[in-house]
Structure 1
């Protein structure tokens, strides 16, 4: 805000100096035109230095001193008939200086500088026209009013800028809180999905007496469940061979799996992990609900997508009748793919088997 005020002050000041300098040359009597031209040139040169000096502490006091000197020498630089009215080119410089100083300093300092400049202008009029100087008093007082209005305007704009800053900060705070809440909810859903795919599935199989405890794979599966729950997420930006991962999933599945896939298929690790977990859940669902002990696992690429299908010839079901709260379908499969920009589609009919189709983009 201060930088913007300074740039605006420089633009207004420079435009006023050009106009006032032109008026000074036109008003000057011929014998003093050279002197007036020299003063105008000096003021313009100072304005260039003023613009390039930045926000140095000495800038405003020096600028005020030069304007005071300009005011005190009006008897030589201003035409007599323009001394005490609004056509006085020095008055234009005084006004723009008093107004723009309000954007560059504190209220007290700005009021002091404006008072000094206006007093110098009146003193210059007294020296140049002792009998008529009182006529310039209203102009001097109006200059102080203009400086005060400039200060009020600056304060209003600065207040608005601070309110905008607070609004932006509040929106950023709300955005951060929403992002944190979303991340926590994503972590919670991921935890629930992992829990469902691992320990919950094994415990459900035991509790529902789908196994009798003598199966050779049960202890190994329980060990893998504990390892999955204890492991943290791998966030590295790496690639994984999806086919190799799916072979491991197929070996650990509770049903026999016929895998048809290319020798190798690389995917980003997060997408490969999401597909592997979704396939593991789909195969577990085959063991629980399909009533068959075999399934097919098909892997291929199509139109920039990696496609993985889990197919069984079991009893099937009606997907539109699955309750929304069932975590196996909604969380473990569909939402896992949603988090990696993928898609899951389940096709099944009662008595006609089930096909779970998983798709993720290759890049």
Structure 2
């Protein structure tokens, strides 16, 4: 939800430079004004002539009350009440200067008025919208000029107060402009990061889809076109039915859970494979959804490769713990192959196994020699 902080178009955005600056200057203005009002009022009241001291003490008491209220408002919800109260107090001190200055003193009441008027006019520039702060400044200048002693040029004091207030407003405007610029730069940077993240996610999804497509429909077409394998109509039907189930996520046990037991993962892949799988070892690791999905599909692709190319029907699957993760090692005694000679256009190993494991923080190793079978090692080290 957006909210105007100062009434002058400043938008309140969570954890923004602009918001931080506005809140900090608000607190600082309250504390500085409270300190000056309290100290100056106390000193001025004590230096006022005896005849006017009761009135001076009364004004000083009111000033102390307003100072305490200013201190409290520094840490509370921002309101204009304490600023308005200080303006009224400064006007009262200014108007009563002729009464308070019935005789010369070391700390002349005119100085009391000027100090309160000056600090109030300056600090309001940090807190109020420009039109309201300018109006309050004009009221303060007129009130101070009304009660000034004859030997002090009121025009010079008025110019000084106006100059100080103008400088305070300019500094505030400059700081706000820079804060807004930083917020815009950060927002642009965040938008770029979000766009990059979306692009990376989109590419990852496209890559995953291509890998899954290779694992299913493309693999079935390769079996059908193979010169050394003549699948029957029933086998092709079984391949096609499995492909449709995988692409439709109907056999994916991970669809309804965020964590998966590694034993259930292995059992699911072994159960759907037409190979005779000898499972050696156990591991009760609990895997997050992403790594579990990568392991399941990589292991499924490794078994599919054995089924299509190794010319064997039996494999060994070693399961072991790796810290908080799991290691799966699939070994066959088939005809083997040279991993370095696999064309780059064949994505079964690089995309469906190696890259898929790397995308979840895991690792895949494929070792094979012609005539000596093959070993695929899948490892996820844990979170």
Deviation string, structure 1 residues 275-307 (Cα, Å, up to 9, x no partner): 221112112222444454432211122433311
Distance 2:324 2:138 in 1: 75
What are the superposed Cα offsets for residues 248-286 of structure 1, whole Å, 9 maximum, x if unpaired? 433544644333243976544543332221112112222
**CA-CA distance at 1:91 after TM superposition:** 0.9
Determine the structure 2 residue equivalent to 1:340. 360
- Equivalent residue for 2:15? none
Q: 2:91 aligns with which of 68, 71, 90?
A: 68
Distance 1:21 1:60, change over 3 A: closer
Match of 1:281 in 2: 301
Report if aligned partners of 1:309, 1:358 keep a CA contact under 8 Å in 2: yes
Q: Unaligned stretches of 5+ in structure 1? A: none
2:229 pairs, out of 172, 195, 211, with: 211
Indicate how the Cα distance of structure 1 residues 37 and 320 shifts in structure 2: closer, same or farther if over 3 A, else same.
Answer: farther
2:10 corresponds to which residue?
Answer: none
Distance 1:235 1:167 in 2: 40
- For structure 2, list consecutive stretches of 5 or more residues without a partner in the other structure: 1-18
C-alpha distance in 1 between matches for 2:337 and 2:319 = 24
In the alignment, which residue of structure 1 is the partner of 2:13? none
Matched, 1:113 2:136: yes
Q: Structure 1's 186 and 141: CA in aligned 2 closer, same or farther, altered over 3 A? A: same
Give the C-alpha shift of residue 121 in structure 1.
Answer: 0.6
Find the counterpart in structure 2 of residue 28 from structure 1: 48
Does the Cα contact within 8 Å between 2:69 and 2:82 map onto a contact in 1? no
Q: Indicate yes or no: 2:104 matched with 1:80.
A: yes
Q: Does 1:226 align with 2:244?
A: yes
Mapped partners of 2:128, 2:285: distance in 1 = 67
**1:228, 1:216 → 2: CA distance?**
18
Count of residue pairs brought into register by the alignment? 357
* 1:342–1:360 CA contact under 8 A, matched in 2: yes
Residue 125 of structure 2 contacts residue 172 of structure 2 at CA under 8 Å; is this kept in 1?
Answer: yes
Q: Kindly tell me: are residues 183 and 60 of structure 1, through their superposed partners in 2, closer, same or farther at Cα, counting changes over 3 Å? A: same
After superposition, the Cα gap between the structure-2 partners of 1:304 and 1:257, relative to the gap in structure 1 and judged at 3 Å, is same
Partner of 2:12 in structure 1? Answer: none
Aligned equivalents of 1:265 and 1:141: distance in 2?
Answer: 78
C-alpha separation in 1, matches of 2:292 and 2:84:
69
Give the superposed CA RMSD.
3.0
Matched, 1:4 2:24: yes
User: Residues 5 and 317 (structure 1 numbering): CA distance in 2 closer, same or farther, change over 3 Å?
Assistant: same
In 1, Cα distance between equivalents of 2:187 and 2:255 = 30
Contact 1:300 1:307 in 2 (8 A): yes
TM-score (norm 2): 0.81
